Amino acid sequence: MTVLAIDTSTNVMGISLIKDQSVIGETITFINKNHSVRLMPAISSLMEECNIKPKELSKIVVAKGPGSYTGVRIGVTVAKSLAFTLKIPIIGVSSLKVLAANGRYFNGLVCPLFDARRNLLFTGLYDFRGQVINEVLEDCNIDRSIWIEKLKSYNEQILFIGNDVSIHKEFIIEHLKDKALFAKESMNNQRPSELFTCSLEEKEESVHNFSPEYLRLSEAEANWLASQEK
Would you report the helix, strand and coil content of the chain in percent, each value rounded to 5?
40, 30, 30
What is the model's pLDDT at position 220? 45
pLDDT score of 51: 98
* Strand-pair partners of 23: 18
Taking residue 6's Cβ as centre, other Cβ atoms within 10 Å add up to 25
Question: So where are the chain's domains?
Answer: 2-95+191-229, 96-187
Least confident of 82-91, 131-140, 208-217, 218-227: 218-227
Whether residue 229 is predicted with pLDDT greater than 60 in this model: the reply is no
For residue 105, give the 3-state DSSP assignment.
coil
Q: Average pLDDT, stretch 12-41? A: 95
Cα gap 166→91, rounded to integer Å: 31
* Interacting residues of 216 by C-beta distance below 8 A, sequence separation 6+: 66, 116, 141
Burial class of 186 by CB neighbour count within 10 A (0 to 12, 13 to 18, 19+): exposed
Rounded to an integer, what distance in angstroms lies between the CA atom of residue 158 and that of residue 176?
A: 9
Task: Reply yes or no on whether the pLDDT at 216 is more than 90.
Answer: no
* Residue-wise pLDDT tens digits, 96-112: 999 999 999 999 999 99
For helices 69-86 and 35-49, give the axis angle rounded to 10 degrees: 40
The CATH topology of domain 2-95+191-229 is Nucleotidyltransferase; domain 5 (3.30.420)
Q: Which pLDDT belongs to residue 131?
A: 78
Fold of 96-187: Nucleotidyltransferase; domain 5 (3.30.420)
* Same fold across 2-95+191-229 and 96-187: yes
Answer whether residue 173 shows pLDDT above 80.
Answer: yes
- State how far the Cα of 139 lies from the Cα of 205, in Å rounded to an integer: 20
66 cis-preceded (ω within 30 degrees of 0): yes
Q: How far is CA 132 from CA 21, 23, 66, 182, 201, in A?
A: 16, 19, 21, 21, 9
Digit-coded pLDDT (tens) for 29-65: 999 889 999 999 999 999 999 999 999 999 999 999 9
86 CB-contact burial (10 Å; exposed 0-12 / middle 13-18 / buried 19+): middle
